[in-house]
Structure 1
Amino acid sequence: MEQGPQREEPPHRGGPRPGGPPPDLRTELDRIHEQLHTLTLAQERLRGLLDAVMAISRELELPVVLHRIVTTAMELVDARYGALGVLDENGDKLARFIPVGLSREEEAALADADLPRGHGLLGHLIRHPEPLRVEGISSHPQSSGFPPGHPPMRTLLGVAIGVRGQIYGDLYLTDRRDGRPFDSQDEDIAVALAGAAGVAVENARLYERVRSGAETFQRLLLPRLPDLHPFEGAAVYRPATVPGQLGGDWYDAILLPDKACAAVIGDVVGHDLKAAATMAQTRNMLRALLYDRRTPPALVLAKLDRTLQAVAGSSVATACLARIEPRGREWSIRWSAAGHLPPLVLTPDRRAEYLYADPGIPLGVDPAQPRPDHSRPLPGGSTVVLFTDGLVEHPARPIDACLDETARVAVAHAGEPPERLCRILADHHPSDGHDDLAVLVLRVPGGSPAP
């Protein structure tokens, strides 16, 4: 069937067909879309910068802070390599250099290379601590080249990290992953991060000074163990990871006039100057009370409790006091606890046993309450381990599991000298480090006691 002639529509004058935007409007829409995309990227980078500043400010350990600064800067500007140069006290050369981004092969190739000395572009940034952007490192007049085995690098962005006008070090970023040189936005991001990094570095350095001072003060309050012959003894103290926190952990061991060896470990409740002062008072009082010949540990703790109530007021403390003494041809351990964890005994044949018994109540709670004494034979050559709860307490783990883990470590190293065994137990503790810890190790002479 034939169709009639088709009617042609006249061409649309003045631009594209109806329904499509005119060219100038389409160009404007493309420009707005590009601006929105750029704004979105800027917001994402700003959000990333804020997150990075918060993450850096939460760190207190200086090595962690320094490494975190470099990795964060690399993420924000998408750099392939990064490094942080820490200046010496005079501020004229590098004392530390922390590179990030090298592969294992690249690290191996640079294993014998010396620490960068701050020459070339690194030295230029040290002498002129303004932001530096370089599109061609090798062609820059200040460039001094790379050592053998160094990966090739083309572009550089460097900014100084300062703390109240004092330059601490310099942050170096090289080679964006997209191959383009660093731009002004990258520089703004790096400068902003360097400002926050300066504050974080200052906080970390202050943390180190406070922690070091608190630890020194705490150690000055603790005794150096005297000669305990024929026994062997050693002790170790480790502060908590919380900055500037004073602890109440203490220990002592002395040889008594009746040839028994007394060992005690305790923990005053609190983490302040009052706890530290009470700890020193408690230790000194206990030494005086121990010199009564053959006084049972429970009676000594009862006297100590009454004395503390009169001198230190309402302070509360836990303690475990043990006497290792000869009984005929055997050794014996006699102990009493005041709300403290039980002693751990390691026998010469490498068996471990906690001396579970009535733990009593802490010192400073009710001096009128009776305190129990406990006693049992002790083979010659045995090792007695006393410790505070900072060694075994972890909020996410049962205390029994932590005690079992400590016993396994002790058994595995039972033949070590007391000093080394102390360090091993403190180094491999199952706790979370929120509290200070103390360990006291006492080794009984082998064989039977002398008449």
Structure 2
Amino acid sequence: MTRRRRPAQSASADDLLSTLGQLTARAREGAELQQARVELAVALQREMLPAALPTVPGLRAAARYSPAQHGLAIGGDWYDGFPLPDGALGFSIGDVQGHDAEAAAFMGQIRIGMRAVASPAADPGEVLGRANDLLLSVDSVLFATCTFLRFDPVSWELQIARAGHVAAVWATADGQYGVAEVCGGLPLGILPGQVYPVTRRSLTTAGVFVLLTDGVVEGPSFPIEEGLARVARLVRAGAVAGTGPGELATEVMRVAELTGHSDDAAVLVLCHEAAPAPPDGNG
């Protein structure tokens, strides 16, 4: 009678458990390293964003930034606001290609560079043209989309130019709302000599103007058109209710959570009053 050999089950199980233990330890180390890289990029990003945004009587601003929900898809989005030499205010929002600490550092360079070129520029189109030439001069492999907006507190007018960036959203206190029709050009840092047309908007009625990045309105859950429509309806409700810029920025950012976004996201909200009436010439 032939005896059957018993398989070495105990030895194989011990080896398997040992191997699994080693793999688990390596995975834990890898996860900790990745988390450290995420925290570094987030910290770098937040340090490079402005601590406060400028305001003037009749115009209030607020912004929010959210890192991606998963992985290392962080570091490229920014917003900014600063006074210009002629008394106007400049606001920008943008998205650097790439999702790592390098993108976050490059974002900081763009934000600072844009402040420098904005001072002598006549309008937002010239600002983006100068910024485009500046990025090309440093010979970087990265590029960025951007919207630059200039608010004139005398004429009560917005001047807007767009470089490959997602459209803005607007609403007024009387219930009008929509996606801003702003002509645009190529993203910054791709081709020299780009011309960026300027769209002008008179603020005759109190309302809200919202700049955002595509991480807010685009994700696996629905396309960018649906995301913009959802934000537009939300902004309309906020404009009619007189919601403050900080609260409205937080509400808009919640749309990013609904999209299941894999990118970081930024929102910049401008709440404005109606243009002041001209002084009475009769004295």
> Normalization by structure 1: what TM-score?
0.52
Structure 1 residue aligned with 2:244: 417
Structure 2 residue matching 1:428: 3-state secondary structure:
helix
The structure 2 residue matched to 1:285, chosen from 98, 113, 134, is 113
Residue in structure 1 matched with residue 212 of structure 2 by the alignment: 387
Could you tell which deviates more after superposition, 372-381 or 280-289? Answer: 372-381
CA distance in 2 between counterparts of 1:193 and 1:315 reads 40
* C-alpha spacing 1:419/1:273, structure 2 compared with 1 (3 Å): same
Candidates 79, 88, 101, aligned match of 1:273: 101
TM superposition shift of 1:397: 2.6
Q: Which position in structure 1 is the counterpart of 2:84?
A: 256
Q: How far did 1:313 drift?
A: 2.8
Tell me the distance in 2 between the aligned counterparts of 1:350 and 1:420: 19
Specify whether residues 397 and 227 from structure 1 end up closer, same or farther in structure 2 by C-alpha distance, changes over 3 A only.
closer
Change (3 A) 1:201 1:374: same
Equivalent pair of 1:251/1:264 in contact (CA under 8 Å): yes
1:426 and 2:241 matched:
no
Aligned counterpart, 2:166: 341
User: 1:362 corresponds to which residue?
Assistant: 187
The amino acid of 1:392's aligned partner reads V
Gaps of 5+ in 2: 1-12
d(CA) in 2 for partners of 1:448 and 1:204? Answer: 56
Alignment deviations for residues 347-366 of structure 1 (CA, whole Å, 9 cap, x no partner): 12233221123221111121
Q: Amino acid of the residue matched to residue 151 of structure 2?
A: I
Change over 3 Å in CA distance of 1:195–1:273 after alignment to 2: closer
Q: Which amino acid aligns with 1:246?
A: I
Tell me if 1:237 matches 2:65. yes
1:35 is matched with none
Unpaired segments ≥5 residues, structure 1: 1-45, 51-187
| Shift in alpha-carbon separation, 1:450–1:244, aligned structure 2, 3 A | farther
Deviation at residue 283 of structure 1 after TM alignment: 0.5
State how far apart, in whole Å, the 1-side matches of 2:182 and 2:70 are.
Answer: 33
* Residue type at the aligned position of 1:319: C
Residue 448 (str. 1) matches residue 276 (str. 2): yes
* 1:16-38 deviations in Å (ceiling 9; x for gaps): xxxxxxxxxxxxxxxxxxxxxxx
Q: Structure 1's 449 and 269: CA in aligned 2 closer, same or farther, altered over 3 A? A: farther
What percent of counterpart residues are identical?
35
> Alignment partner for residue 143 of structure 2, among 291, 311, 316?
316
Match of 1:307 in 2: 134
CA distance in 2, matches of 1:207, 1:269: 20
Indicate how the Cα distance of structure 1 residues 289 and 449 shifts in structure 2: closer, same or farther if over 3 A, else same.
Answer: farther
- Distance of 2:277 and 2:36 partners within structure 1: 48
Question: Secondary structure of the residue that 1:314 maps to in structure 2?
Answer: coil
Q: What amino acid maps onto 1:261 in structure 2?
A: L
Distance 1:256 1:445 in 2: 20
Instruction: Letter of the 1:407 partner, please give it.
Output: A
Q: 1:199 to 1:350 in 2, by over 3 A?
A: farther
Equivalent position amino acid for 1:420 in 2: E
CA contact (8 A) 1:252 1:283 kept: yes
Aligned 8 A contact 1:247 1:275 in 2: yes
User: SS in structure 1 opposite 2:117?
Assistant: helix
CA distance in 2, matches of 1:259, 1:439: 24
1:437 matched to which residue of 2? 265
> CA 1:312–1:442 in structure 2 vs 1: closer, same or farther (change >3 Å)?
farther
Cα separation, partners in 2 of 1:370 and 1:198, compared to 1, 3 Å: closer
CA–CA distance in 2 between the matches of 1:225 and 1:333?
20
Shift of 1:301: 0.7
Structure ID, larger Rg: 1
Question: What residue in structure 1 maps to residue 6 of structure 2?
Answer: none
Separation of aligned partners in 1, 2:252 and 2:268: 10
Counting only pairs closer than 5 Å after superposition, residues 51-130 of structure 1 correspond to structure 2 as none
Deviations 1:112-157 (A, max 9, x none): xxxxxxxxxxxxxxxxxxxxxxxxxxxxxxxxxxxxxxxxxxxxxx
**Greater relative contact order: 1 or 2 (C-alpha under 8 angstroms, separation 6 or more)?**
2
Contact 1:225 1:254 in 2 (8 A): no
CA RMSD of aligned residues (A): 3.0
